[in-house]
A and B are shown apart, each in its own frame.
Chain A
Amino acid sequence: MHELAICQSLLREVQRVAARNDASEVVRIGVVVGPLSGVEAPLLERAFTLARCGTIAANATLEIEEAPLTVWCESCGVESQVAMNALLCGRCGTWKVDLRSGNELLLKQVELSRDETAGATG
């Protein structure tokens, strides 16, 4: 399982974004994960709850957007939704297709807060 290593890398990147924006805290992290990225969303989520401890994102939520798996066939000019191990054109069945979406592993969005208001105790 390398989801923990990926989380640590993600958190270092998030930390850099936070520092650049003078944030005191990271509230939410949005990532895009494709089925062919090699990363399992549930494992990433579980690893995140461990990896975030003691970081600026200690209270952050992780939102995982799962990208669709689509290929583009040049000869047919069509895009098809496909399965992980059958990247074939939905129309003509050829394997000579381009992956259009499905291998993403992206940090898409970070929601930050600046510590300006100290509020009520809950």
Chain B
Amino acid sequence: MCDQCGCATTPDTVHVHDHAGVVTTRSVDAQSVEILTGLLHENDHVAAHNREHLDRHGILAVNLMSSPGSGKTSLLEATIDALGDRHRIAVIEGDLETENDARRIREKGVPAVQITTGQTCHLDAHMVHDALHALDLGAIDILFIENVGNLVCPASFDLGQHANVTLLAVTEGDDKPAKYPVMFRGSDLVLLAKADLLDVLDDFSPQKAVGHVRDLANPADVFTVSARRADTLVPWIAWLEDRLAACRGGMAPRPRSHPASRHSHHHPHHAGAAE
């Protein structure tokens, strides 16, 4: 179907609309090229490049995702306090607008690069690449990338991180993983955040939240944390330090499968025309 005039085109003709609105039908020597490349091929290339940068410096890079306001920046502030001066931290902040989050991090004495995405509801690998070049990678142990508050789009864009950490605030309902399966299926760790509020919320069941994560065939750990209570951060800090040790030992983890970078398993005829 030709969208503009609504006519059907036979396989060997094509209607061409020029600027004056004249429709030309010409017969074409059509050639079909079979390829199987990810739609986000370009992004994935840059993400792989970012990962090389990070791996070369033995940096652990964590992509923090959640709905808007689930407590990502607060968790980062508390994490910076909890890690003390044991590790050198840097943060890349993604927000639609404002430098507020980066300012909050800098107040902790930690370098932060703010990416304002404007209309774009997610970070992509190109944006993170530019931010990486604005940081001194030789002076970083753990890099946190706070993605734009959004449970949909960030799941599709590999940034070059080693792990995806998704926050689910206990104020949001324990069935969020069932509603946003792409995001929660791709999470290497789920943090049930704002856990200090569990006492006053009788309808959030951490066990049910875990069940919904398992229903996505995801074995990821699920920890309960509160940015207001340092003692709740112990498992999270240990989780980070385990992975940091792996990065330093040249065994950097890879994030759970990124849907967009999928190479098909069920199309055996991989006529890879693209490089």
| Chain A residues with a Cβ under 8 A of chain B | 1-2, 5-6, 9-10, 12-13, 16-17, 20-21, 23, 25, 27, 31-32, 34, 36-39, 49, 59, 61, 67, 71, 84-88, 95-101, 103-122
Contacts and interface: CB of A to CB of B under 8 A. Distances in A.
Interface stretch (B39-47, B62-70, B239-247): B39-47
B25 A119 contact: yes
Contact of A118 (B26, B41, B177, B218): B26
A85 B178 contact: yes
Residue among A13, A85, A96, A117 with max Cβ neighbours from chain B (10 Å):
A85
A109 B32 contact: yes
A27 B216 CA distance: 38
Given A85-B212, A105-B40, A107-B36, A113 B31 contact: yes
Q: Lowest 3 A-B CB distances belong to which pairs?
A: A113-B28, A119-B26, A87-B217
A8 to B, nearest CB: 9
Interface of B: 1-3, 13-17, 22-43, 120-122, 124, 152-153, 155-157, 177-179, 181-182, 185, 212, 214-219, 257, 259-260, 262, 264-267, 273-274
A38 B156 contact: yes
Contacts, number: 185
14 contacts: A9-B42, A13-B37, A25-B14, A36-B182, A39-B39, A59-B2, A59-B16, A85-B216, A96-B217, A103-B182, A104-B259, A106-B37, A107-B36, A110-B32
B124 A5 contact: yes
Given A27-B14, A84-B181, A112 B33 contact: yes
B273 A97 contact: no
Q: Output the residue of B23, B156, B214 with the most chain A CB within 10 A.
A: B156
Nearest to A13: B41
